A = this chain, B = another copy of it.
Amino acid sequence: MAKKPEIPHVVVSRLPIYLRALEHARQEGLTCISSQELGERLSISSAQIRKDLSMFGEYGKQGRGYPVDALIHALRQHLHVDRVWDVVLVGVGDLGHALARYKGFAERGFRIAMAFDKDPAKIGTTAGDLTVEDIRLLARRVQEAGIKIGMIATPAAAAQEVANLLVFAGVRAILNYAPIHLTVPNDVRVEYLDPVIPLQRMTYYL
């Protein structure tokens, strides 16, 4: 796949935040937004925003701000969310159910396409619009569908084994809700959503 010029990860990690803010601005009816206003909405300096967005070419016109629609379009392209990604969910407890029913994925580029659990009491039941499948079928189903993104919502004790299975099945990006660090090959990315980590980051300052 042809690759874009190298952009530092710290910049990449801010792009979805810019995209989200721009989408809110569009909902409010804005067609242009200045780096100052975007910065105020995000508690990021306008200089930082101009520098980050300049890496993607010239979207902003001096004195007029960024055209909201065009910048949304460009960011979606760069983030590869100008399409919908199928996601496989593993672990259908309370959190898994909440994820399966969450309406906020579809409009932002994601769709939970399959849900798996190892608990026989859960297999065959419903989660959102999906039927929970037996985890023993995961590798084949995910490979056949070519799914590249997984969400782990299992207890910590099961998460590494699930991650291994996802990687074996071809998944290259894992969103991990389980409170444990995962060991994966270098070409697989993991992002973590253990709520206690950010809570402890804040209690340090309390």
| A residues apposed to B, CB below 8 Å | 12-13, 15-17, 19-21, 24, 41-43, 78-81, 85, 87, 93-95, 97-99, 101-102, 104-105, 108-110, 148-149, 151, 156, 172-173, 175, 179-181, 183, 189, 191-206
Contact = CB atoms under 8 A, between A and B. Distances in A.
Contact of A21 (B109, B110, B173, B181): B181
27 contacts: A12-B204, A12-B205, A13-B201, A20-B180, A20-B181, A20-B194, A21-B181, A41-B183, A42-B181, A43-B181, A78-B204, A80-B206, A81-B200, A81-B203, A85-B203, A95-B98, A104-B179, A105-B195, A109-B199, A109-B200, A149-B203, A149-B206, A151-B195, A173-B202, A175-B202, A189-B202, A192-B198
Given A43-B181, A94-B98, A175-B202, 5 more contacts: A16-B198, A80-B204, A110-B196, A149-B206, A172-B206
Give the copy number: 2
Nearest to A80: B203
Nearest to A98: B94
A83 to B, nearest CB: 9
A196 B104 contact: yes
Contacts of A97: 94, 98
A198 B175 contact: yes
Contacts of A180: 20, 24
B79 A200 contact: yes
Contacts of A94: 97-98, 101-102
A149 B202 contact: yes
Contacts of A189: 202, 205
A108 B194 CA distance: 11
Contacts of A16: 196-198, 200-201
A196 B17 contact: no
